Structure 1
Amino acid sequence: MRILILLTLAAGALAGLQTWRIGGLTDEADQAQRFIGTLSAGIESRDNAIHRLNNEAVTRERQEQSLRTQLSQAGQRARDREYKIQRLLNENQEMRDWYSARLPDGIGRMHARPAFASAADYLRWLSGGDELPDTGKFTRH
């Protein structure tokens, strides 16, 4: 009978020990789940940052291509303008004399470039070829 009581107590102690170990393992599993959740959130955040950076890189590439195109167009306009000036100078002596003459100070100030907000504004101004107003006509100033 004593052996039966000792075996029952030993079985109860063993069951209690196993219950305690299972409780500890459950806590460890909960901690592991929380850790996995934290890591998953970090990975998701990293993936979002990578996606955003890739989108920004694509946008910058498009902007760079646009700027390169504008630069190429500006260069072509400048070359066209120089060719036109050279052609006009080669056509007649009167034009060469006029071109080589120094402008009066007042006219030189009128040719000063205005401030530009962007490169596109400068290109429009440069390629516009606006002529000076006729000094024989009255203006509305």
Structure 2
Amino acid sequence: MRIVIVLLLVACALAGLQTWRIDGLTEKADQAQRIIGTLSAGIESRDNAINRLSNEAVTRERQEQSLRTQLSKAGDHARIREIHIQRLLNENQEMRDWYGARLPDGISRMHQRPAFASAADYLRWLSGGNELPDTGKLTDY
């Protein structure tokens, strides 16, 4: 009988030990699940960021292509305008005289600007006091 009791106690101890080990493994499995959930959320966040950046890159490429097309069209228009002006100058002496005449001082000053080291310098220059002459007064040519 003692042997049976000892065996029962040993069996209970082993069962308790197994229960303790199972609880530890369950806790580790729960911790692993939490880690997997965190990593999955991180991966999903990264994938969303990659998709967003990819979409932005495609949008920027389209915008760049549109701007290049607009620049090309503007260049074409400028060339056509220059050809037209040159044709008019070649055809008309009065137009050549007008085209070659000196601009009024106020207009000449509008076309003058110093060299700028940065955009901030340009903005400072723009906000400076570069006043135009009074339009009610005649300017000397």
Same fold (TM over 0.5): yes
User: Which AA in structure 1 matches 2:8?
Assistant: T
Aligned to 2:136: none
Aligned to 2:57: 57
Aligned to 1:91: 91
Q: CA deviation at 1:86?
A: 0.8
Report the number of matched residues: 111
Q: After alignment, is 51-60 or 92-101 more displaced?
A: 92-101
Aligned to 2:20: 20
Q: CA deviation at 1:102?
A: 1.7
> Distance in 1 between the 2:42 and 2:52 partners?
15
TM-score by length of 2: 0.71
> Does 2:43 correspond to 1:43?
yes
> Distance in 2 between the 1:60 and 1:36 partners?
35
Q: Which runs of 5+ in 2 are unaligned?
A: 112-141
Q: CA deviation at 1:99?
A: 1.9
User: Which AA in structure 2 matches 1:46?
Assistant: R
User: Which AA in structure 1 matches 2:69?
Assistant: T
TM-score by length of 1: 0.71
Q: Deviations over 1:91-140 (max 9, x none)?
A: 2333323322223446x37xx58xxxxxxxxxxxxxxxxxxxxxxxxxxx
Q: CA deviation at 1:21?
A: 0.4
